[in-house]
């Protein structure tokens, strides 16, 4: 099918019914025309994740330059960037880069990324697919009483979550070192379980493996509620699965999706490189913004100087 936007037609082929589309005939780069880029942006908001085959013209620098078309790129808060790049995160299966549990990127940060751009550098002969889930469709699927409850819930997200509980840990030094780096600075942030998308107005669920617990609930009750809501996110009807080829690029709206990198390829080597674009602070259905807990949020005075500690000044939900 084709989709017209600003007099540009993209060759768009939906991959699944509720999420995901392949865009053909476009070579990604910083020099895309404004009309073509606007059409890609509109398609991204509609389909949540876009796939582009045969993007071999992109190297690290070109991927970063293209990412800037979506907004200011941001480095990962704790993991160092790839050597020779400004913002690029390398996910190497031989060094702990196996994200095989459901998550939205970096939700332990206050203004987590709005968009992620992932490029396949080396892929296994079989296995290593990635699955995405539509968190707006998941919210719409909830029975009305459960929606009403979810609208009021807040969750504490952290990068120092229980890895062993969420996924099996590979028994190698690279994976252990990766976790040490990942948690070198502990982040904790309270997000609404339901945020309002700043561009589409959709309500989306903010969950995934960085959730430590629901605010104001006992651990057992929290775990049951999170599991219930999370189960709606990754219902197969809300997902799309992509079989990678080297040179592929996937772009997803990180405010309306979760994803899962399937770890089914044993000792085969898988290398992906990701650029993330600065996001906005989520806002609840009731209009309340998310709250940073750790590190203590900086506060500036009227002259623009950073005050020492505003951790105790956050308001209750």
- Digit-coded pLDDT (tens) for 115-134: 999 999 999 999 999 999 99
Residue 14: φ, ψ to 5°: -55, 140
Map tokens 């045969």 to a residue.
54
pTM: 0.87
pLDDT score of 60: 95
pLDDT, position 173: 59
Express as a percent the part of the chain with pLDDT over 70. Answer: 82
Residue 317: pLDDT above 60? Answer: no
Q: Where are the alpha helices (DSSP H) in the chain?
A: 34-47, 60-67, 135-141, 144-152, 163-166, 173-182, 219-233
Q: Which pLDDT value is given to residue 303?
A: 45
Token digits for 176?
A: 């252990």
301 by DSSP, 3-state: which? coil
Backbone angles phi, psi at 137, to 5 degrees: -65, -35
The per-residue pLDDT for range 235-260, each reduced to its tens digit, is 999 999 999 999 999 999 999 999 99
Taking each helix axis from N to C terminus, what angle separates 219-233 and 144-152, rounded to the nearest 10 degrees? Answer: 120
Q: Is 125 within 8 Å of 257 (Cβ atoms)?
A: no
Q: What is the average pLDDT value for the chain, to the nearest integer?
A: 87
Two tokens, residue 116: 């992620």
CA nearest to 113, candidates 154, 72, 151: 72
Percent with pLDDT over 90 in the chain: 73
Query: How many whole angstroms separate alpha carbon 216 and alpha carbon 138?
Result: 24
Q: Would strands 299-300 and 306-307 be described as parallel, antiparallel, or unpaired?
A: antiparallel
Task: Give which of 238, 261, 237 is closest to 133, Cα–Cα.
Answer: 238
Could you give the residue numbers annotated as active site?
A: 103, 105, 259, 274
CB 132 within 8 A of CB 269: no
Residues 156-199 have pLDDT tens digits of 999 886 444 444 445 555 556 656 665 668 889 999 999 999 99
Contact of 288 with 196, CB cutoff 8 Å:
no
User: Contact, 283 vs 196, CB < 8 A?
Assistant: yes
């Amino acid at each position: 099918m084709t989709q017209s936007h600003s007099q540009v037609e993209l060759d768009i082929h939906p991959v699944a019914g509720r999420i995901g589309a392949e865009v053909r005939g476009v070579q990604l780069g910083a020099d895309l025309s404004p009309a073509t880029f606007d059409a890609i942006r509109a398609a991204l908001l509609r389909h949540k994740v876009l796939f582009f085959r045969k993007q071999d013209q992109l190297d690290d620098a070109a991927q970063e330059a293209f990412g800037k078309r979506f907004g200011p790129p941001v480095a990962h808060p704790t993991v160092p960037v790839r050597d020779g790049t400004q913002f690029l995160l390398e996910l190497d299966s031989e060094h702990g880069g196996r994200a095989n549990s459901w998550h939205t990127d970096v939700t332990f940060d206050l203004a987590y990324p709005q968009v992620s751009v992932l490029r396949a550098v080396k892929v296994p002969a079989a296995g290593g697919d990635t699955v995405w889930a539509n968190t707006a469709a998941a919210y719409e699927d909830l029975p009305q009483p459960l929606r009403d409850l979810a609208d009021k819930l807040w969750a504490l997200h952290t990068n120092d979550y229980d890895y062993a509980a969420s996924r099996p840990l590979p028994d190698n030094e690279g994976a252990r070192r990766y976790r040490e780096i990942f948690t070198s600075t502990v982040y904790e942030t309270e997000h609404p379980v339901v945020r309002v998308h700043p561009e589409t107005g959709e309500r989306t669920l903010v969950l995934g493996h960085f959730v430590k617990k629901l605010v104001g609930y006992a651990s057992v009750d929290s775990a049951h509620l999170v599991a219930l809501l999370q189960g709606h996110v990754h219902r197969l009807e809300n997902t799309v699965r992509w079989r990678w080829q080297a040179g592929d690029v996937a772009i997803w709206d990180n405010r309306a999706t979760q994803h899962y990198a399937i770890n089914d390829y044993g000792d085969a080597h898988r290398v992906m490189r990701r650029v993330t674009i600065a996001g906005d602070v989520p806002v609840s259905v009731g209009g309340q913004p998310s709250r940073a807990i750790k590190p203590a949020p900086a506060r500036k005075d009227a002259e623009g100087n950073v005050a020492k500690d505003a951790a105790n000044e956050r308001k209750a939900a």
